[in-house]
Structure 1
């Protein structure tokens, strides 16, 4: 369906009507095994659900279509997708990761991959020119989030891709596209080899399924990852794939509302005397605003800001929000707020958090799809209450 627009593909890609019943919505295939005509001769393309499942394949096709990719793979979580990529490599191999990376990704690289002999160098790649100095002959992966979590730094994907091709042609470029979704950014078109999503977030969009996904164009890379998907077995259930399929159908509508609300929230916070700094790539004040405007088609629904005060002030803020729920995760229809320093990034050392700017006053907001005026008033009330010691 590559000739169709995003919204059409979001609704229809991988969602062909049932050839027997005519059902417009594909059924949930819960069977773990599939009948064979003769030993080693399945009736259809499936033999065992870990290896392939009709509901999962439908979702994988849909994700691939939205990312402009040939291939898609689904996993039981974003972390499982990360682990599967790293399992392509061997002891002695080297990874380069943007330093401001999701805490769970950092944890996997440093506490799981490293003891198995795979070393990671964390680099600030907001200036792409900083990358070559960290490249080694055994560098196999360059790993980027953009925007980063939680400080929303933007990385120039095309510039990094060109440097990888020049200085580390043996390496693959992985882009975590969770924060923007394929609606606002398509890294494969900018030179990435693999696009990663925590489906739990925007793709599913309803905070009711934990999943991950990868998208890619290279056939050999797909075959390696497909083998590992089956061999490791961290695959999602058919029901979770059904939920994620349903979520994809409204992705374009939701992302527009997420962004609309984020812009309203960012503008309010930027004007508030109770806020020290607002971080949103859609604001002209953002250091990488021009890069974001060039490589993205929108700025997303995530906003971070630094509240005036200290940890106690930030804690009081969360005690007074009525719409923004204090919770980890993001990308659902409901608005969420969190304090990364003691939640999603608590596993980092204080020194690492200080280097990244993850202070005790840095608050991350995931703007949902509620009425913007209500979100702004909720923040106004919480900010004012937080200053009353």
Structure 2
């Protein structure tokens, strides 16, 4: 594969307009079939732009095929439901995006699917049943940035004939390539780093093998979740700067994490790039960069947490992540708000936890903004 910097800018040659520098938008959803034996999405209203975007993200993840969806949850639910039926069992990592956790706790039981949650490799081993079909993980995890060893989990799964799926949203293919570490399927909320500008919802799925292509396509056709040609065009345009954005965000996040770990008002910092992070060495082995996400706990109560966010001038107190703008949220009242306090504390999400999605601004400006907000609320 090309260097990532070059590959992002020159992913695929346009098949429609060979003299154009950028790929055009082709809105057709109907194609002639006589004389065309290899229809890529049989029975699925796809477009040239969908297929092209799926292939570009597939190449980035170094997979064999890929497809795109109208949201990250569409990609996640399609990947999971493709391999599970009534009576099946799935093991999730215990740290999950709030939407995935809700899907596991509320939607899968409706279909007679049992769910378990593991915090480490031994946990995954011990929870395997005869009907276990999938191991699903996030690493780094949302919102505590926990790291799981990819190759060890993949080896356990292969030994037991279990499909492995990873949400690679936090890392992006610039920082981590799970398929090269033995995982079967990668999913993304493209809304985050792949889109990168907080203005485009979509999802992506990439497989390391053609073996599961038909079953996933069949599930995708049943549940829909199609992405429009214009959105595909915008997504491809955003991918051209992915490598540049991620590298800047990686550097900014490390500087900010170093600042926060030494602050008297900060109780804990969660960032895999810090040597004090409990899984720092694992992250070094399987990641080429530590990402632009970090979380930290302030030594204060809920009221001051809210006041602190209100005093921020550069960093926006907003949902989502991965964009060029720095965003901050409190998971206890946003992504994990539907959990009881006891349930949140059981997975390590305290009321004073803040998640920071670091943008591409100057790192010192971000730090100065947090400093002035802390001073105003006497932190």
Question: Residue 114 in 1 paired to residue 78 in 2?
Answer: no
Secondary structure in structure 2 of the residue aligned to 1:188: helix
CA RMSD across the alignment: 1.8
Q: 1:12 to 1:273 in 2, by over 3 A?
A: same
Distance 1:47 1:357 in 2: 42
Give a deviation string over 1:245-288, Cα, whole Å, max 9, x none: 11111111000110111111111111111111111100011110
Aligned to 2:224: 233
> Please, which of 66, 69, 75 is the counterpart of residue 81 of structure 1?
75
Secondary structure in structure 1 of the residue aligned to 2:212: helix
Return the offset for 1:130. Answer: 2.1
| Contact in 2 for aligned 1:32/1:49 (Cα 8 Å) | no
Moved over 4 A (4+): 18-21, 39-50
Distance 1:340 1:385 in 2: 23
Distance 1:186 1:18 in 2: 27
> Please, which of 168, 192, 198 is the counterpart of residue 201 of structure 1?
192
Question: Residue 210 in 1 paired to residue 196 in 2?
Answer: no
Q: How does 1:53-72 map to 2 (within 5 A)?
A: 53-72=47-66
Secondary structure in structure 2 of the residue aligned to 1:230: helix
Distance 1:268 1:162 in 2: 38
Return the offset for 1:124. Answer: 1.3
| Structure 2 runs not aligned, ≥5 long | none
Give a deviation string over 1:37-91, Cα, whole Å, max 9, x none: xx75669957999432111111111101100111111111110011112222201
Aligned to 2:85: 90
> Please, which of 17, 20, 23 is the counterpart of residue 20 of structure 2?
23
| Contact in 2 for aligned 1:259/1:300 (Cα 8 Å) | yes
Question: Residue 153 in 1 paired to residue 146 in 2?
Answer: yes
Distance 1:322 1:92 in 2: 51
> Please, which of 74, 99, 104 is the counterpart of residue 104 of structure 1?
99
Give a deviation string over 1:79-126, Cα, whole Å, max 9, x none: 00111122222010000001111110011111111111111111212x
**Number of aligned positions between the proteins:** 378
Question: Residue 266 in 1 paired to residue 264 in 2?
Answer: no
Return the offset for 1:386. Answer: 2.6
Distance 2:217 2:180 in 1: 22
Distance 2:146 2:287 in 1: 13
Larger mean CA deviation between 195-204 and 215-224 belongs to 215-224
| Structure 1 runs not aligned, ≥5 long | none
Superposition TM-score, scaled by structure 1 size: 0.93
Larger mean CA deviation between 116-125 and 185-194 belongs to 116-125
| Contact in 2 for aligned 1:46/1:53 (Cα 8 Å) | no
> Please, which of 3, 10, 13 is the counterpart of residue 12 of structure 1?
10
Secondary structure in structure 2 of the residue aligned to 1:13: coil
Superposition TM-score, scaled by structure 2 size: 0.95
Distance 2:183 2:166 in 1: 7
Give a deviation string over 1:336-365, Cα, whole Å, max 9, x none: 000000101112222221011100100000
Q: 1:158 to 1:261 in 2, by over 3 A?
A: same
Distance 1:50 1:347 in 2: 35
